[in-house]
Amino acid sequence: MLAKVVVPLMPMTEAFELGVACEVFGFDRSDDGLPTYDFSLIAAVPGPIRTRFGYNIDVPYNLDSLDDADLIVVSAGGTYDAGDAYMCSPSPDSSVDPLLVKLNEAVARGAKVASLCTGAFVLGAAGLLDGRRCTTHWRHAERLAQTYPEAKVDPDVLYVDEDPVFTSAGTAAGIDLCLHIVRKEQGSRVANGIARRMVVPPHRDGGQAQYVATPLTSTPSATLAPLLDWMTENLALDLTVGMVAARANLSARTFARRFQAETGTTPARWLSDQRVLAAQQLLENSDLSVDVIAERVGFGGGAVLRQHFIRLRCTTPQAYRRTFRATENAS
């Protein structure tokens, strides 16, 4: 059940991450047949909430609204320290800090709690990351691990699902996490519908590493984006590196190097991931057998599809289909 979503705002709130939560959960898209959430912002501490850009957000300090929330999203915020990392403003002692107590109570009663970017420090202060995989912006991952040594910090992913605790990497990765939560709770149709209205992909492959030091192409004309679009539309073909490189008028070696620089992964890995994503859509929206789906997306046979599906989704195609249809029926 995902009906009521509450976002407690930290001092020095980051506008982008806050905007992500508002856009995904706070926008009325009922004209497209999508669910409308009971969405609200509250102050995590008494008084107006100041943003990093100098303006204040005047929202009520009403932590009681967390008591019946289905999802609590802790956005990025806090105060800068000398180490150029965000630290949450409340006391790290969850026995005395009201917000941290509320977060623990929410998890205990079965609600979900998510952090966007450096909001992970708040979840860490509440003890909710202890023994769990988690992530935050790659620049702050080491600090998070040092501050909360019981947390299993993974700096190389866009988000981590340790239901009922979810964490996302920096900035735009919050979109990925929010859409993931919607997909998990309400199915692909709802998540894809929201993504379409937001003009963002419903799912991004890759991890934070591809954003750390990826060189930019020298000119817009040098981008491989048109070729990637063509590959996505022709997944059933035998897309060898030599064939695709020739289409781009590049040698196989130069193509592989350019591909790695632009996408952060190899052509083979990118292609298999896109095929899994295409198979996922067919599993969700058709009654085709696994073998037929495998042929349509270019894997050739069901055994190969299962191998790559388990690698990327940590479940089998059949189990994924059952889960999705159960979610659709529940929604």
Residue 139 maps to which CATH number? 3.40.50.880
Strand partners, 18: none
194 found inside a domain: yes
Answer with the one of 163, 198, 233 that is the final residue of a domain. 198
- Confidence band of 265 (pLDDT split at 50, 70, 90): confident
Q: Which of 18-27, 62-71, 227-236, 259-268 has the lowest mean pLDDT?
A: 259-268
Cα(58)–Cα(176) distance, integer angstroms: 28
Give the position of tokens 């991931």.
273
Same-domain pairing of 240 and 293: yes
206 found inside a domain: no
Same-domain pairing of 21 and 162: yes
Cα(236)–Cα(246) distance, integer angstroms: 18
Query: Tell me, what's the pLDDT at 207?
Result: 58
Confirm whether pTM is higher than 0.85. Answer: no
Same-domain pairing of 173 and 263: no
For residues 59 and 75, the answer to whether their CB atoms sit within 8 Å is no
Same-domain pairing of 129 and 42: yes
205 found inside a domain: no
Alpha-carbon distances, residue 61 vs 2, 7, 15, 125, 278 (angstroms): 23, 11, 19, 20, 45
207 found inside a domain: no
Same-domain pairing of 144 and 222: no
CATH number of the CATH domain containing 237 = 1.10.10.60
Same-domain pairing of 161 and 246: no
Percentage of the chain beyond pLDDT 90 is 60
**For the chain, how far is it from start to end, CA to CA, in angstroms?**
8
208 found inside a domain: no
Alpha-carbon distances, residue 254 vs 139, 228, 262 (angstroms): 31, 16, 12
Please report the sign of the dihedral spanned by the C-alpha atoms of residue 119, residue 124, residue 128, residue 133.
positive
- Confidence band of 222 (pLDDT split at 50, 70, 90): low
Residues 6+ apart with CB under 8 A from 311: none
45 found inside a domain: yes
60-94 pLDDT, tens per residue?
999 999 999 999 999 998 743 333 333 444 444 44
Answer with the one of 169, 198, 227 that is the final residue of a domain. 198
Same-domain pairing of 73 and 176: yes
Same-domain pairing of 243 and 165: no
Pairing state of beta strands 159-162 and 112-115? unpaired
Reference 104, options 137, 120, 75, 127; nearest CA is 127
Query: Tell me, what's the pLDDT at 329?
Result: 54
Cα(199)–Cα(309) distance, integer angstroms: 26
Residues 6+ apart with CB under 8 A from 231: 239, 244, 271, 274
Q: Which of 91-105, 123-137, 264-278 has the lowest mean pLDDT?
A: 91-105
Same-domain pairing of 318 and 233: yes
Residue-range definition of the domain harbouring residue 221 = 214-331
Query: Tell me, what's the pLDDT at 264?
Result: 76
Q: Structurally, how many domains does the chain consist of?
A: 2
209 found inside a domain: no
Answer with the one of 198, 233, 252 that is the final residue of a domain. 198
- Confidence band of 224 (pLDDT split at 50, 70, 90): confident
Query: Tell me, what's the pLDDT at 28?
Result: 95
Same-domain pairing of 67 and 93: yes
Same-domain pairing of 146 and 293: no
203 found inside a domain: no
For residues 33 and 58, the answer to whether their CB atoms sit within 8 Å is no
More confident position, 132 or 95? 132
Residue 225 has pLDDT above 90, yes or no: no
Same-domain pairing of 219 and 75: no
Residue 245 has pLDDT above 70, yes or no: yes
Q: Which of 16-25, 97-106, 196-205 has the lowest mean pLDDT?
A: 196-205
